[in-house]
Copies of this chain bind each other. A is one copy, B any other.
Amino acid sequence: MAKLPQSCYVVCLAFSIVVNLSLIFKLYGHGEWELSWSRRAAEEAELVAAVPCSGHGRAYLDGLVLDGKEPVCECNSCYGGPDCSQFLTDCESNADSGDPYFLEPFWMQHASESAILVAGWHRMGYVFPDQSYISQELERLIRKVHAIAGNAVTQGRYIVIGAGSTHLVNAAVHALSPSSTDSLNSSSTSSSPASIVVTIPFYALYETQTKYFRSLDYKFEGDGSLLQNISDGSKRVIEFVTSPNNPDGKLNKANFQGPNSEAIYDRVYYWPHFTPIPAPADEDVMLFSISKLTGHAGTRLGWAVIKDESVYQRMLQHTVTSNLGVSRDTQLRALKLLNVVAQGRGKEIFEFGYNTMRKRWEGLNKAMSVSNRFSLQKNEPQYCTFSQKIRGPSPAYAWVKCEWEEDKDCYAVLQEEANVYGRRGSVFGAEDRYVRLSLIKSQDDFDILLQRMNQLVSQEDAQPQTYMNNVTKPSLRSKMYSCK
């Protein structure tokens, strides 16, 4: 080996030491925890998240995998191919379900704060240390988020969690029905089943679930206005009030009053995404869900805010007797998500949610404003205490009416002429002249829906038409409010 001059060794050594130091800093200098048992799960999650699905789909940890154990892309509607890059021109526009994917981009932007690592031994028992079925941290965050949004009074109120508001609907009906309440409410003079009523149009689950359980204690009677005239007040009436209403976004109020009437307020859409918040709601029984707050419909978690202790106890009993509480995994995830909502006092998620929904509503309104065949519901702009300004509507659903005399089946019109699949008016107890279109799905879903509706409206001049007598020119009804 040729002998090098000493200065060469000195320079090399100095360089090597600098490299040493920088590597040591990179390894240990960030104050980062040296990961051990959690690394594998973290790597698995990042590998799956890194699967490229062209921005029109995503891969999941529990999705199907190819033979080589590569996770598979699950594509948005109208996109296909292994990487979701193919646009399928003849696809259906599915505007039926209430899958709240409109918030998915928000969570992708907040990946670090919203991820949760569940250890194999996380909460294996049935109850928390206080013998309850609810994480105290979760309950605290639920109250905090309501305080931030200003949409519900929770101070001095009880909270019960369930497997989504779906689970709590039955819990509330059961808790307010005579066999449960007789011993507590001496004014109840009858042990006949409670009448479950609702105002048309209404969310179908109230009817299907209440009928499904075939209880001795309650009976679904449908439209409350009929019962209102014949009721003498001796019968227990339980009224569902959805506010904002599904499908039409109206801030409904209870029609039944009096000592033998109870209302279950379904408040799942009462968040700044979907409606101005005029004041905190303060009803006796209010239902909320993480599905319509954070967009996690698949995470079955809802909660009820309850004034009366005995109603609380009975609803709690329902969730325990039917399901033995809500998964601890689900509670842990909800806690993490609500923690992100609460960051920055809710500004981020509520602004993202409102801006997205408002833009979609404006887009659809614009498309429909030139139509005399279709009209949309009119939701009034109102002062929103959360954003501290008057805000225009940003509803979760479009409640479309077919105005032409011959278009009695509006669902069929949209399906046959535009390949758009909504939800029939009759599903909500209304005429089939109405159809509900979901606006809360992915941006791809909405873009295709909007394109199809634009196309349909543009074809109107070529169609025969008969106006109904009571039509109001839709273009006059779709004035834009841009209050944000």
Contact = CB atoms under 8 A, between A and B. Distances in A.
A60 interface: yes
Given A35-B35, A39-B42, A117-B45, A60 B123 contact: yes
Contacts of A62: 123, 135, 137-138, 328, 331-332, 335
Nearest to A323: B163
A127 B94 CA distance: 14
Copies per complex of this chain: 2
Given A164-B323, A209-B321, A119 B296 contact: no
A24 B118 CA distance: 31
Contact of A46 (B37, B49, B108): B37
A136 interface: yes
A166 B127 CA distance: 15
A32 interface: yes
A38 B170 CA distance: 38
A104 interface: yes
A74 B122 CA distance: 12
A299 B328 CA distance: 6
A87 interface: no
Contacts of A65: 137
Contacts of A121: 58, 104, 107-108, 111, 114
A311 to B, nearest CB: 16
Contact of A297 (B64, B125, B214, B217): B125
Interface stretch (A11-19, A148-156, A268-276, A362-370): A11-19
Contact of A299 (B163, B327, B340): B327
28 contacts: A13-B13, A16-B16, A23-B27, A26-B27, A37-B111, A37-B115, A38-B42, A38-B43, A62-B123, A62-B135, A64-B137, A107-B119, A107-B120, A107-B124, A114-B119, A115-B117, A124-B296, A126-B298, A163-B300, A163-B323, A164-B324, A212-B317, A212-B321, A214-B217, A215-B216, A298-B328, A300-B323, A300-B327
